[in-house]
Structure 1
């Protein structure tokens, strides 16, 4: 039987992880906010598993990367940890062991026939920059990030041709300053809004620096955004539509618009000004954002968001929050991933591709994460001792069918990366939900290819399925 879905020539079939979720904290010179949070509140983390070892990539990267080759991946994204690469956070001077390690990783990826995609920030702010300056609320921290970025570009830009400044920057805003799921767990709308602005500025400044360097003249730089389209409860109800528009402008377009168009959504700017929580910016900064847009976009897609007009009373004691403009809506009959509590809605991947085609200059983009986290996967172990994760294969197929439709209709998508190649550590959830093509036994660190790993190998070989 022939393959029904064939993808464009040179399509990326790959997978993504991050430094803090895979490397372990061996030999790191600094602690990030998660390292610190685990020290002070280990019980918050599932089964008390912290970031010290994770999937041991720091020690086993050669054999791990060989396994990625074995399952047919042609590209691989991870991140460079600020806390590992940089010795002196103020000057951006690198640490010798960090340089050795990342050189080894990048060389190994290339040696195994894969394209390395390197991201610079995956929620892992050095905790001393939070304690000293207030983290991402500070423009000094923005400038320190640019120094770190420049060090990375200079060291690795001869081999790394695809860079991303940030992964899911809106999550930093939500987790640290709105919904208390990342350290320091504050509820502070004003700080949230300033952080949102500063992260956009940091990305644009890093891009500006990248383009001045000799080592990056044949490289490309982008950003990785988690796009979670807001679907209104009713497309007939004007208040529901308005709520969805506000949700999109805060949670999606607040990074998408500056990254691709160099400006913030008007809806958002007017709302923040009316509510008196507007960020502090200068004309010079706004022109940096305007003139340093991305070469490509990475899109992490997991679930849709369903919203309705505000019906509950907003708790004013919380101060300003975007939640005063909408309520989340539980759509009857939605399909759920019960382990993660997330809706499964593959069609959104098509809606995203058409939105990028029509409203964002049809910029080159790729799916940088898509995946299904499942708890207790050991119950799917077959008699040979491997995990039969057919549910994951079905999940990927459904999403790829909709992505294929978007590409057929002219969306400029050049790749599909899953989350994640090897089961990895996931913030407060630690190893509760597994996402990998490859399983890891935390006691022995033994790694085994799941059924989905053999499946992706065929897909990559045939450039379709």
Structure 2
């Protein structure tokens, strides 16, 4: 009976899904791919670059392999610093209309505002931006994507100290001065909500601060420090956007946004308690950072649960914060069922424990979607439409970009010792993944959501933080011995789709099964 219903649903949806093409997105819609400075640039001490926190973190060696799964680091990475011209040609070859990349803070300001400006770093990014524009590729520039000068950590504990707000705004304003005549899309932070958790709640990223039961760290307090760090990031963003609007926007004509990591949640049970659990879990995702930047304060669920552990904004800060954002960037990869843990017994996962919910990937023994190679990540394309509509309603349909999807925690390739290069390059499952998520994104656009771009993560295989080089997310395969780049099937499909040759014929059977469930 269920199969018959699925076939009926398939036929009903066929007319609305079949034939989805590039032309179903707005003409100005940006199709791009992304990267970050530490993950691809290499040249970690070249041309007067200073040490970053990740340079230090990846070189710490413990009793076994140190902080990175394969004992590696980003000293060389993909050597983008020396190969950026070829990489621009690579982007152009697949028809990208935009490229999301980040600036290395320590390459431009080796010691933050306590030292001089590194002109070699300025020159590198000028050359990169100019090269992109020459090929018709719009730069979407992230000012901070995880890495910061080690000097700021050692001098005053980085994000735990309000002083970093001054350092960040100094860096951002320098970037506006140096590059803003050509850059029209600025992102202050990439995934600051996830970063605060990874650095100060779970403690897996530098400076490795946390407290039990969330993780095992030598220092830290998971109950307070993630929210202190986030507080400083939020204020740093607001002050940066205020500077841009007052001093640069009228001359440069750009916009400033922030990119948030956003899971989607569904109620495990169709009961009031689990629907409220979804609301709480979501409030600790995007609204944690976005509510202050729209309304001047944190979500009320966070205030109720965290109490005095959640910092307060002064009256002057609340006034500064409101409406200090031009667009939202969203990085989306995962969807979970959640269960209430206020009135129910739970095994709480550290990631969602502060929202008083527990997460699950199954309901009545049925997975939430198709399992990827990542053991905790399932393909649930309909979540793309749902989260976009959630943000549309909550934030008055502000312009939105999907700044990461299709790779990290979404459709990673995790090769083993017997995996061949041919198997890595023939990533057909990832094509299906990108296609299905784009399908549901188009549904949200049809419903009036002001979505202006979609970026695949990532442009090429690269250094993937604590996983090192053990997993591969790129549209281009990188041989890390020769550093040769080879397009995967997903890159070729993306090229055809962007150019209007490829249509999305139908959402995958897995996504239809999820809709039935």
Normalised to the residue count of structure 2, the TM-score between the two structures is 0.83
| Alpha carbons 2:352, 2:359 under 8 Å: kept | no
Task: Report Cα offsets for 1:129-172 as digits up to 9, x if no partner.
Answer: 12221211111011111000000110000111110000000122
Are the aligned partners of 1:307 and 1:329 in contact in 2 as well (CA < 8 Å)? yes
Whether 2:329 is the aligned partner of 1:278: answer no
Partner residue in 2 for 1:113: 136
- Residue 178 of structure 1 corresponds to 201
Distance 1:341 1:322 in 2: 17
Query: Which residue pairs with 2:32 in the alignment?
Result: 14
Say whether 1:290 aligns with 2:322: yes
- Between 1:367-376 and 1:214-223, the stretch displaced more is 214-223
| Alpha-carbon contact 1:26-1:58 (below 8 Å) kept | no
State the Cα deviation string for residues 378-402 of structure 1 (Å, max 9, x = none): 84644xx981111111110110111
1:314-337 Cα deviation digits (max 9, x unpaired)? 79xx9x994371222231332221
Answer whether contact 2:140 2:186 (CA < 8 A) is retained.
yes
Of 268, 273, 282, 1:248 maps to: 282
- Asked whether the 8 Å contact 2:493–2:502 carries over to 1, the reply is no
My pick for the range that moved more, 141-150 or 191-200, is: 191-200
> How far does residue 463 in structure 1 lie from its aligned partner after superposition?
8.2
Task: Name the CA distance, whole Å, in 2 between partners of 1:314 and 1:98.
Answer: 45
Equivalent residues in 2 for 1:143-162, closer than 5 Å:
143-162=166-185
Structure 2: distance between partners of 1:97 and 1:190: 39
Query: Residues 373-452 of structure 1: matches in 2 within 5 Å?
Result: 373-376=412-415, 379=419, 381-382=421-422, 387-452=425-490
C-alpha distance in structure 2 between counterparts of 1:286 and 1:117, whole Å: 28
Residues 1:266 and 2:289 are matched in the alignment: no
- Decide which of 494, 497, 508 is 1:459's aligned counterpart: 497
| Match among 145, 148, 151 for residue 128 of structure 1 | 151
3-state DSSP of counterpart to 1:416: strand
Deviation readout 1:50-107 (Å, 9 max, x if unpaired):
1111111111000011100001101001001111111441257421111111111111
User: What secondary structure, in the 3-state scheme, does the structure 2 residue paired with 1:462 have?
Assistant: coil
Deviation at 1:432, TM superposition (A): 1.6
Taking a change above 3 Å as real, the CA distance of residues 246 and 97 of structure 1, as seen in their structure-2 partners, is: same
SS in 1 for 2:182: coil
Deviations 1:318-376 (A, max 9, x none): 9x994371222231332221235312211110001211222211111111100121112
Residue 328 of structure 1: SS of its match in structure 2?
A: strand
Separation in structure 1 between the aligned mates of residue 125 and residue 112 of structure 2, nearest angstrom = 18
Aligned counterpart for 1:141 among listed residues 164, 170, 176: 164
Name structure 1 gaps, 5 residues minimum: none
Residue in structure 2 matching 1:191, options 225, 233, 239? 225
Measured in 2, the distance between the counterparts of 1:183 and 1:130 equals 10
Could you say what secondary structure the match of 1:401 adopts?
A: helix
Cα distance 1:152–1:328, how it changes in 2: closer, same or farther (>3 A)? same
Q: 1:282, 1:260 → 2: CA distance?
A: 16
Match for 1:225 among 255, 260, 265? 260
The Cα of 1:11 is off from its aligned counterpart by 1.2
The equivalent of 1:34 in structure 2 is 54
Is the Cα contact below 8 Å between 1:226 and 1:252 reproduced in 2?
yes
Q: Structure 1 residues 180 and 306, CA, compared in 2 at 3 Å: closer, same or farther?
A: farther
Task: Give the direction of change, closer, same or farther, for the CA distance of 1:453–1:174 in structure 2 (3 Å limit).
Answer: same
Task: Specify the SS of the correspondent of 1:202.
Answer: helix
For the aligned residue pairs, the C-alpha RMSD in angstroms reads 2.3
Residues 92 and 282 from structure 1, CA distance in 2 versus in 1: closer, same or farther, beyond 3 angstroms?
farther
What secondary structure sits across from 1:43 in the alignment?
A: coil
Q: 4+ residue runs of structure 1 moved beyond 4 angstroms? A: none
Q: Give the whole-Å Cα distance in 2 for the aligned partners of 1:303 and 1:47.
A: 25
Q: Distance in 1 between matches of 2:53 and 2:366?
A: 38
Specify which of 203, 206, 210 is matched with residue 240 of structure 2: 206
Question: CA 1:117/1:230 → structure 2, altered by over 3 Å: closer, same or farther?
Answer: same
Is contact 2:397–2:449 with CA below 8 Å preserved after alignment? yes
Match of 1:302 among 324, 328, 333: 333
- Tell me which moved more, 28-37 or 201-210: 28-37
- Residue of structure 1 equivalent to 2:366: 333
Per the normalisation by structure 1, the TM-score is 0.92
Q: Deviations over 1:196-246 (max 9, x none)?
A: 21111111111111112237541111111111122221232x332232222
Moved more, 352-361 or 20-29: 20-29
Q: Is the 8 A contact 1:11 1:463 kept in 2?
A: no
Distance 1:29 1:398, change over 3 A: same
Unaligned stretches of 5+ in structure 2? 1-17, 211-220, 504-517
Give the aligned length.
455
Q: Is the 8 A contact 1:304 1:343 kept in 2?
A: yes
> Quick one: structure 1 residues 330 and 453, their matched pair in 2 at CA, closer, same or farther if it must change by over 3 Å?
closer
Match of 1:72 among 87, 95, 98: 95
| CA distance, structure 2, for counterparts of residue 247 and residue 93 of structure 1 | 43
Alpha-carbon separation, structure 2, partners of 1:456 and 1:126:
36
Report the equivalent of 2:20: 4
Q: Give the CA deviation at 1:30.
A: 2.2
Residue 13 of structure 1 aligns to a residue whose secondary structure is: strand
**Cα distance in 1 for residues equivalent to 2:100 and 2:375:** 23
**Secondary structure, aligned partner of 1:285:** helix
Partner of 2:7: none
